[in-house]
Amino acid sequence: MPPDTPATTRFDALAVKRQFPGLADERLHYLDNAATAQMPEAVFDAMRRFETDARANVHGGSHRCARRAMDAYAEARSRVARFLNAASSNEVVFTYGATAAINLAAYSFGQSLQPGDIVLLSVLEHHSNLVPWQKLAERRGVVLRFLPMTEDGRIDLDRVEEEAAMGCRLIALTHCSNVTGAVTDVARVVRAARANGARVLIDGAQLAPHTPLDMRALGVDFYAFSGHKTFGPTGIGVLWGRRELLDSMPPFLTGGQMIQKVTLEGATFRDPPFRFEAGTPPIAQAIGLGAALDWMLTLDWKAIREYELRLTRRLLAGLAQLSGVRVIGPTDTASRRGVVSFHVEGCTPDEVCRALDMRGLALRGGYHCAQPLFAAAGVDGAARASLAPYNTEADIDVLLDALGRLVGRNDAARMAAGHAFPAQG
Ligand code: PMP
């Protein structure tokens, strides 16, 4: 291979795709990965092994199945810690998803906040990283402030230092927008927070599916993500938290398994992470997530990054050729991931997605749980294509072809009705 051959030529998306039973139908073009990604065979295998060889509860029990279940559950936690490069697996709390993880942080960490303390968010946040803080504000008199959005759909960090200095106790931002695909400069956010004694929570639901992470290097205090977007099962997610912070936080949900001692008058609680895992956890799902993240660690993410950007560039260039199609977010590939939302003039996002579905294209349309973002952009929802390593150029080309026909039909209808359509990038 010549020295300047790009790594992309070495990444074999079809070999990855063959590992996914859900993608066996060649007519399916699955581009809804930001909502839920498909699962590789390795994850089905791990979950099936647990259900057939080790199915039992993970709390206590001295029989062999219980021991196997406890070992597998502990191993799953270690696998998550490895994926996150966490200092210890005790920093990994299993939740049922990113939403539950952020609710946990908002409730438990939120108990340490006082009336007037500021939590800094952005207008790009998913409702999961907005509504729990609104509820905290109602409960404790905390004040929410918001970083605006730039013209090209990024969190505007221009004033983050200033905002962090205004009595801010926590900055809670998305790592990657689920609408625009823009990636946040977390290092800058962390510097601003540290300079002012604030904590940082990052909603990693959209970045974790695109790369293994490094909690020690990232320097944040909390990180949340979901299993079903990282090639694992639904019903499982993670809140990673710094040990000393988790130690200082009260439980969120209470009940069995998370206690040390219970009397009729009260209870004492176990150390983290168990303090935050009340009741029987989603055991098979945790094991499936561990297998999914291990599977991710077998891939060449540098090559995938280049590959994904190549597909994203192809998609953005194709969309720019279509009249009446407006991309919501960056139209270049700097600091972004393969999540591309677009509005088609004259069609609702749902109509676009239904038309695309006729061609085997799976895309999602609507507000993507980010209504304030759409209000700020002045757009009434969007269809969204989101990429995973098993997507191919063919997926992009079929999408562009189908959109071209849809836009062409719209144009023709407009011409027939006697008014022309303004072309937009
Ligand atoms: N944050 C972001 C940025 C997301 O994209 C999502 C899922 N769409 C969530 C949080 C919530 O994830 P879940 O529904 O798995 O809890």
Question: DSSP per residue over 12-33, as a string?
Answer: -HHHHHTT-GGG--TT-EE-BT
d(CA 68, CA 247): 28
Contact 82, 297 (CB under 8 A): yes
d(CA 222, CA 205): 13
Q: So what's the pLDDT on residue 4?
A: 45
353 is catalytic: no
Name the band, by pLDDT with cuts 50, 70 and 90, for residue 419.
low
Of 65-74, 284-293, 401-410, the range with the lowest mean pLDDT is 401-410
The whole-model pTM stands at: 0.95
Ligand 1 pocket mutation, candidates 176, 206, 226, criterion most atoms within 8 A of CB: 226
Of 199-208, 232-241, 410-419, the range with the lowest mean pLDDT is 410-419
Kindly state the tokens that stand for 336.
């972004």
- pLDDT above 90 for 189: yes
Q: So what's the pLDDT on residue 7?
A: 45
- pLDDT above 60 for 213: yes
d(CA 304, CA 306): 5
Ligand 1 pocket mutation, candidates 369, 371, 373, 386, criterion most atoms within 8 A of CB: 369
In short, whether 203's Cβ falls inside 6 Å of ligand 1 is: yes
Kindly report, residue by residue over 156-172, the tens digit of the pLDDT: 999 999 999 999 999 99
Kindly report, residue by residue over 372-394, the tens digit of the pLDDT: 999 999 999 999 999 999 999 99
In short, whether 125's Cβ falls inside 6 Å of ligand 1 is: no
- pLDDT above 90 for 415: no
Name the band, by pLDDT with cuts 50, 70 and 90, for residue 116.
very high
Name the band, by pLDDT with cuts 50, 70 and 90, for residue 10.
confident
Between the CA of 205 and the centroid of ligand 1 the distance, in Å, is: 5
In short, whether 174's Cβ falls inside 6 Å of ligand 1 is: yes
Q: So what's the pLDDT on residue 31?
A: 98
Between the CA of 12 and the centroid of ligand 1 the distance, in Å, is: 28
Q: So what's the pLDDT on residue 420?
A: 53
Mean pLDDT for 49-53 is 97
List domains and CATH numbers for the chain: 13-30+300-416 (3.90.1150.10), 42-297 (3.40.640.10)
Contact 329, 341 (CB under 8 A): yes
Mean pLDDT for 280-309 is 98
With CA atoms as reference, report the closest residue to 257 among 290, 281, 287: 281
Q: So what's the pLDDT on residue 5?
A: 44
d(CA 231, CA 40): 7
Q: Which has more confidence, 59 or 425?
A: 59
| CA dihedral sign of residues 212, 216, 218, 221 | positive
Side-by-side strand order, sheet with 199-203: 92-95, 237-241, 222-226, 199-203, 168-174, 118-122, 143-147
Between the CA of 233 and the centroid of ligand 1 the distance, in Å, is: 14
Q: So what's the pLDDT on residue 125?
A: 98
Mean pLDDT for 302-320 is 98
Mean pLDDT for 279-299 is 98
Q: So what's the pLDDT on residue 416?
A: 81
Average pLDDT score, the chain: 95
Strands (E), 79-182: 92-95, 118-122, 143-147, 168-174
d(CA 362, CA 99): 24
Mean pLDDT for 313-336 is 96
d(CA 47, CA 32): 23
Kindly state the tokens that stand for 164.
């962090």
| Strand 325-328 with 92-95, pairing | unpaired
Mean pLDDT for 301-312 is 97
Ligand 1 pocket mutation, candidates 99, 207, 222, criterion most atoms within 8 A of CB: 99
Between the CA of 237 and the centroid of ligand 1 the distance, in Å, is: 10
Q: So what's the pLDDT on residue 362?
A: 98
